[in-house]
Structure 1
Amino acid sequence: MKAVLKILFLAVLLTLSTFANTHLNILKDLDIDKSFMQTSYYQQIKQGINERQIADFTRTLKNGYKHIYSIKDTIKISGLPEIFLYLPMIESGFANHAVSGVKATGVWQFMDVTAKNYGLKIDKYIDERRDIVKSTKAATSYLKGLKSQFGKWYLALMAYNCGEGRLNKAITQAGTDDLATLLDPTKGYLPSETRNFIIKILKASMISKDPNFALSKDATLLNQPVLATSKVSVPGGTSLKQISDSIGVSVKRLKDDNTHLKFAFTPPNTKSYHVYIPQNKKDIFAKNFKPVVANNRFYSYTVKSGDTLFAIAKKSGVSHKAIKEYNELKNSLVSVDQKLIIPRSDQNKFQSYVVQNGDTLEILSKKFNVKVKDIKDANSLASNDNLQVGVKIVIP
């Protein structure tokens, strides 16, 4: 019996020792002095790791599983510590559509100016803060620059959150860059958001190494590859529908993989632009995709008083359905001074329609604001032809 108890006691000591060494390595990776383990902040982090915290951590990983592998890979290549995976986890919960109250956007919550300084494009057609690949590369470059400026990774993390100027001021006021000193809430050297930010990142990293998580099946979320994407170049103004048709992937899937595109087409003001497609579709894309010359394929139209979507469609010679698709309109309502992108391409001048019970040429003429003659000409209908229910026709 004594022998069994001794073995159990040694096993507990070994577990505690391993746990402590793991935490020490985490601190070391961030250039935090090991004396931090003697502070109340460390004790609060360690004691705060419980079943609820692990469940919250796991839920966030599941929400962001699609991006985790790509982010981890880029972080590893850039030479940043692995713990930096938890920066976007805390900043945005890995939500690529996240927008803060001060308009920080994307997984990495880049502000407009900082994003542009690191090569991310933002205009009326694209917001590359939502391009997982490009934004992660930009974030690692920014963080490496902060590390070079402040000398320690944990300071780079805090500067990322509150800004270089604010951190410099805090260090000057404190007379030291010691983490425990900077975290003192009574002194208020740093904003509470930044103090909580570094604590949350440390806690997330420690949870990832906690036996209750590390030995669970959910731990595979941190290393589970998802269906990889390939970057391909297409002419400016190419619709996702055209790419979708060429590779047999839904437009929805393409939108999900290309959240940096504000519309369902690539920027018409560039000669070419990149799109991410499933990696296993790259050969099919090379074989099937036929680029369309993109010169002047689109123009901008400002909605005027009295305009309707159908009137604009008639005026432009483009179907209202195409205009809705390219502007991602949920309905046919438009408002004065609203900017619309109007495609010029002939492929968008017709839309398919399945004849419904009760339809006549006159009814369709009024419904789509198109002349009866134009519908007949587009479908080679004689004057006495009746419309058959279920038949697909085109509406100019």
Structure 2
Amino acid sequence: MRISKKVLWLGAVCVGLWNSEVVAENMQPVVPQERLEADGDTLGIAAQADEIDLPEVEEIGVNPAVPEQLLRARFAKLEKSIPLTYHKSSHEFVEYFIYRKAKFTKTMMEKMPLYFPLFEKTLQKHGLPTELKYLSMIESGLDPRAISRARAGGLWQFMPATGREFGLHQDTYIDERFEPVKATEAACTYLKQLYNIFGDWELALASYNTGPGNVKRAMRRSHGTTFWTIYNVLPKETRSYVPQYVAMNYMMNYGNYHGIYAENPEYIVPNDTIHINGYINLVTFCETSGIALEELEKLNPHLTKKTLPDQTRNFVLRVPSVKYTYLVSNRNVIMDSCTKRFSSVMLARMDSTQRDSLGNSVVNSLASVAEEEEVADRIETKIVSKKSSYIVRKGETLSSISRKMNVEISDLKKWNHLRKSNIAKGQKLIVYKNVKRVVGQEVRVASTRTEKEKPQNKHSKHRYHTVQHGDTLWTISQRYGLPVNNLKKANKIRGNDIKPGQKLIITS
């Protein structure tokens, strides 16, 4: 027996498993002294921190490995509402984040101050364990604009359809899956639903990754009732998902002990908000207000274009607080410069002809755009509210109707004198929609007559729109100011289904 113990001991030394903790000479203290001593007592390791006030760091050998006993003890200390089960896979991921992905671990430490206050506040509001905040690190690497190969997006990686199901608006200009506050609200709602289904946090986390249907199928196939009893029949990615979460939880609490530190932590930029109604060019807005476009995009990651369209209503735009006073004092000048849709086209028209080095005439490409928009440029429009009615269908709620009609729930309640959100099938609701009314029809008539005198191709009035992810017939009709029926008739569409990449005729 003695010989075998010696052999095992020598083998452990050779592969770096005999991993006594040493003190780094130039490392700054980052962990309270009592926490270090407690670890030493638990593991039977001599706490050198009594002599030198510095944290202990695991020694990195030729073949580095963290002792199993160490991880089991620390997992037990960290565990709160969500089990942190020791498993070979979670052990491997701890070492992966220490030795192979130290840069990623460091980045996560640096981004914690940027998003964790929001996560903790929202999780507490929903009555969920605050340690769920580490899940977003596995999902997106705390990148609000992250998009997976499967088109899942945002901090919490919502698929487009799931995002819409949880109230995250998506169109050509805005994708609320990338908006940290709303996406975190949606993620908390979803996680709460999953926990209510399974009553087990490890199963809830697995189903967040692969879907509750896949988890239930794995339970039926294996006759298991816990994550670890269905582990072998889960998809490979999901088998790694919970262990990765456990490892990341560990690294954010014990990363300093392994020599990984947040050198340049990121913090929330103090910001204020302004409400946008109608068209705005965000590049021009930044130029005239002195705000860096990169900074504006960072504060508003859900903006997918550098403009917002005419139909924009009450969009909340975050701006740096240091620029807010200047914005308020110069609001008229700034907004006039960035809300005139045709200002750049007019400039192009004024200088539409240039000459190259040989003296030949060269037409500016924007000039042709100016000619196409000439009639529209002369026509003034104003926004008016048009009253219409909507009959509630089976299964509809105020929330689903508000999304369908592109109005706020509070407005629906106000228009229909509703105190609560309860509605019934067949109930008639009043809805007010903002529509454009053309002022100066005589200009359009005159220009149309002139055009009729000229020979034209029968398709000359047609424009085309390529369907994007999240587009519906309703949003496209609103964008171009067309009735949905006209859009369907022009494109010979019977139902309401359209597909990304489909080209639609937009008739004038």
- Which category describes the TM-score, using the shorter chain as reference length? 0.5 to 0.7
Residue 72 of structure 2 is aligned to residue 28 of structure 1: no
SS in 2 for 1:28: coil
1:10 to 1:359, Cα distance in 2 relative to 1, 3 A:
closer
1:267 to 1:208, Cα distance in 2 relative to 1, 3 A:
same
Counterpart contact for 2:75–2:250, Cα < 8 Å: yes
Taking the aligned partners of 2:236 and 2:279, their CA distance within structure 1 comes to 45
Structure 1: where are the runs of 5+ without partners?
A: 1-7, 298-342, 372-396
Corresponding residue number in structure 2 for 1:280: 322
Matches within 5 A, 1:1-396: 12-14=40-42, 20=72, 22-30=74-82, 32=83, 36-37=85-86, 39-41=87-89, 43-44=91-92, 50-62=98-110, 66-67=114-115, 69-184=117-232, 188=233, 190-210=234-254, 212-213=256-257, 217-218=261-262, 221=265, 225-245=267-287, 247-290=289-332, 344-346=341-343, 349-350=346-347, 366-367=363-364
Under a length normalisation based on structure 1, what TM-score does the superposition of the two structures give? Answer: 0.64
- What is the number of residues matched between the two proteins? 305
Kindly state the Cα deviation for residue 267 of structure 1 after the two structures are TM-superposed: 3.7
Counterpart contact for 2:345–2:366, Cα < 8 Å: no
SS in 1 for 2:275: strand
Summarize deviations over 1:173-209 as a string: whole Å, max 9, x none: 333332321223xxx2x11111111111110111112
Under a length normalisation based on structure 2, what TM-score does the superposition of the two structures give? Answer: 0.51
Summarize deviations over 1:288-313 as a string: whole Å, max 9, x none: 323869xxx8xxxxxxxxxxxxxxxx
Aligned AA (1:202):
V
Taking the aligned partners of 1:235 and 1:172, their CA distance within structure 2 comes to 52
1:156 to 1:10, Cα distance in 2 relative to 1, 3 A:
closer
Structure 2: where are the runs of 5+ without partners?
A: 1-35, 45-68, 369-508
1:175 to 1:204, Cα distance in 2 relative to 1, 3 A:
same
Taking the aligned partners of 1:288 and 1:19, their CA distance within structure 2 comes to 58
Taking the aligned partners of 2:227 and 2:128, their CA distance within structure 1 comes to 20
Taking the aligned partners of 1:364 and 1:65, their CA distance within structure 2 comes to 57
SS in 2 for 1:230: strand
Taking the aligned partners of 2:182 and 2:230, their CA distance within structure 1 comes to 32
1:368 to 1:125, Cα distance in 2 relative to 1, 3 A:
closer
Summarize deviations over 1:249-308 as a string: whole Å, max 9, x none: 122321232232221122432333121212333343333323869xxx8xxxxxxxxxxx
Identity across the alignment (%): 24
The structure carrying a bigger helix percent of its residues is 1
1:249 to 1:147, Cα distance in 2 relative to 1, 3 A:
same
Counterpart contact for 2:172–2:305, Cα < 8 Å: no
Counterpart contact for 1:126–1:267, Cα < 8 Å: no
1:97 to 1:220, Cα distance in 2 relative to 1, 3 A:
closer
- RMSD, matched Cα: 4.0
Taking the aligned partners of 1:205 and 1:247, their CA distance within structure 2 comes to 42
1:253 to 1:219, Cα distance in 2 relative to 1, 3 A:
closer
Which has the higher mean CA deviation after the structures are superposed, 127-136 or 59-68? 59-68
Structure 1 residue runs of 4+, over 6 Å off?
Answer: 8-11, 16-19
Counterpart contact for 2:276–2:312, Cα < 8 Å: no
Taking the aligned partners of 1:213 and 1:95, their CA distance within structure 2 comes to 26
Summarize deviations over 1:62-96 as a string: whole Å, max 9, x none: 47875455445444544433332332221222233
1:149 to 1:12, Cα distance in 2 relative to 1, 3 A:
same
Taking the aligned partners of 1:170 and 1:25, their CA distance within structure 2 comes to 31
Which has the higher mean CA deviation after the structures are superposed, 56-65 or 95-104? 56-65
Counterpart contact for 1:238–1:265, Cα < 8 Å: yes
1:106 to 1:12, Cα distance in 2 relative to 1, 3 A:
same
Taking the aligned partners of 1:10 and 1:116, their CA distance within structure 2 comes to 48
